[in-house]
Amino acid sequence: MNNGLIIVNVIVFLLLIGVLIIMQKKHISFSKRVFTGLGLGIVFGYVLHVIYGADSDVISKTIDWLSILGSGYVKLLQMVVMPLVFISIVGAFTRLKITKNLGKISFLVIGLLLFTTGISAAIGIGSTIGFGLDGIQLTEGDAEASRNAELVDRVVQVEGMTIPQQILQMIPNNPFADLTGARPTSTIAVVIFAAFIGVAFLGIKRKQPEEAELFAKIINSLYAIIMRVVTLVLRLTPYGILALITKVAATSNYEAIVNLGTFVIASYVALILMFIVHLIMLSMAKLSPVLYLKKAMPTLTFAFTSRSSAGTLPLNIKSQTKDFGVSEGIANFAGPFSLTIGQNGCAGIYPAMLAVMVAPTVGIDPLNPSFILSLILVVMISSFGVAGVGGGATFASLIVLSVMGLPIEIVGLLISVEPLIDMGRTALNVSGGMTTGILTSRITGEFEEEVYQQKEIVEA
């Protein structure tokens, strides 16, 4: 009986895919197809949830089949992330324009990412205090106990480590292993390794221009090939979003969301406020926030549904260069750096909220100015090296709570609403990266405003 129901569910899903295919053949815009996939997935997933229940065998096996497309799409994007990070950073050095302002660009990208992380931490603190959230009120069920048990290994990695020791963890000792994503800090290690290669290229360019020119041609060719692979994968975006959001809507624990509703609401209030800060910063640069919203939405929608900043990197870079007029060199800096530095949602808002919630349990007044300033500083420094994949916020929270001397158990107590909040966090992370690229490009004069002003989104 169950097999028949699963087959029916899969057939309905295939029909929804057919709708998107028809839209594509009719040359309906990419953004409209993305939002159609999002809407269809929410409705279909919720219908499955109502009919079968989130934990039913039918739902589980149906999602297994749907994951071929949903999880498969994310894996394809993750497949190109490390090569793209490496080639993007090195390629940024081989492009003549960026070498003229390399120091300024690096300073602006890292500075803006850290600055916005500090603001996001302050907003997270304010939202937590404003909603009166208190970690004492949280209770541990079976799922939470299991989650805390899983966190033990991660706690061992960070507990007792000083900030200098955490910084040392980011330095690559085996870049080839880091290219496989072997460590939580692998992404920033690859960024650092690529930066060394880039600096070496600049030295060779002065002393051995012929060899440097050959190397630049090789890197540019590799970059063109990687971006072509990215383009092929990105064409699957509407279908991937349909599958991913169907899974979220079908398997979400709505009862737990209601029970922890205040925390969820407080989190999204903080996320929205920080998103508004991004729009204000763009307005201050005399750029239309409305155009930004329209053109960034497909990328942010994928980030929201996939919960992977790293998986969204190809879309991030494409949006910066093709839709917003950011130079390739700056986009190739801002995109990869935003995976590991200054993630406004995962490394900024979330750890700050948890720290304020748990502080009263150990007798610390969360309104104490010295505590607030210390927390914001720790959040900013700890934002280095946060992995841009699902779970990065957990790692960031463990680091911040450990450095501040606060209990880490609260991280596991929120497992039931973690996926829902992580969707918003990831979208904010990606928005922070794109905003940083746009502002850096604007400030350095390597910005094509006519591209930004175009109302249509460039197809992948």
pLDDT in tens, 279-325: 999 999 999 999 999 999 989 988 888 778 877 888 898 899 999 99
pLDDT in tens, 161-187: 566 766 677 788 888 888 877 776 777
Closest CA to 336 of 69, 39, 16, 90: 90
Amino acid at 373: L
The torsion angles phi and psi of 326, rounded to 5 degrees, stand at -80, 140
The torsion angles phi and psi of 148, rounded to 5 degrees, stand at -65, -35
Domains and CATH numbers, the chain: 79-237+252-453 (1.10.3860.10)
On the question of pLDDT at 99 being above 70, the answer is no
What pLDDT, on the 0 to 100 scale, is given for residue 148?
A: 47
Q: DSSP string covering 16-84, please?
A: HHHHHHHHHHTT--HHHHHHHHHHHHHHHHHHHHHHH-TT-HHHHHHHHHHHHHHHHHHHHHHHHHHHH
Calpha distance 106→247 (Å, rounded)? 39
Positive or negative, the CA dihedral 114, 337, 299, 246 is negative
Amino acid at 289: P
What pLDDT, on the 0 to 100 scale, is given for residue 141?
A: 47
On the question of pLDDT at 414 being above 90, the answer is no
On the question of pLDDT at 412 being above 60, the answer is yes
For residue 455, what are its two tokens?
């109302």
Calpha distance 30→241 (Å, rounded)? 12
On the question of pLDDT at 79 being above 60, the answer is yes
Global pTM reads: 0.79
Long-range contacts of 93-100 (CB under 8 A, 24+ apart): 93/197, 93/198, 93/199, 93/201, 93/202, 94/198, 94/201, 94/215, 94/216, 94/219, 94/220, 95/328, 95/329, 97/327, 97/329, 97/446, 98/327, 98/329, 98/330, 98/333, 98/446, 99/202
For residue 250, what are its two tokens?
């079908």
- Are the CB atoms for 262 and 131 separated by under 8 Å? yes
SS (H, E, C) 224-293: HHHHHHHHHHHCCHHHHHHHHHHHHHHHCCHHHHHHCHHHHHHHHHHHHHHHHHHHHHHHHCCCCHHHHH
Q: How confident is the model at residue 392 (pLDDT cuts 50, 70, 90)?
A: low
SS (H, E, C) 92-154: HHHCHHHHHCHHHHHHHHHHHHHHHHHHHHHHHHHHHHHCCCCHHHCCCCHHHHHHHHHHHHH
% pLDDT > 70, the chain: 87
On the question of pLDDT at 152 being above 80, the answer is no
pLDDT in tens, 32-71: 888 899 899 999 999 998 888 867 888 889 999 998 998 8
On the question of pLDDT at 371 being above 60, the answer is yes
Higher pLDDT among residues 153 and 349, named by residue: 349
